[in-house]
Amino acid sequence: MNELEKAGRIINDRDYKAADIEKKTGISRQTISNYRRGRVMLENATWPTVHALAEYHDTIRSEQ
């Protein structure tokens, strides 16, 4: 799975609260909300944003 796919899983999984994602990645809740509502496409996100979300994905998976 590539980093964009990992980032998409975090964004699309509503079990992860935007506030928690913000704390762990530094990505604002507003930005997360925009991705979730389709106002902004994740495919157009900056590399640091995608990478931070992908790292968060990996961290969560390793804890399970």
pLDDT score for 63: 80
Q: Could you identify the residue written with the tokens 């996100």?
A: 45
Q: Per the structure block, which two tokens stand in for 18?
A: 């935007």
pLDDT tens digits along 10-57: 999 999 999 999 999 999 999 999 999 999 999 999 999 999 999 999
| Burial (CB count <10 Å: 0-12, 13-18, 19+), residue 32 | buried
pLDDT score for 58: 96
Look up the pTM and report it: 0.92
Residue 13 carries which DSSP code?
A: -
pLDDT score for 55: 97
Residue 64 has pLDDT above 90, yes or no: no
pLDDT score for 61: 87
| Burial (CB count <10 Å: 0-12, 13-18, 19+), residue 21 | buried
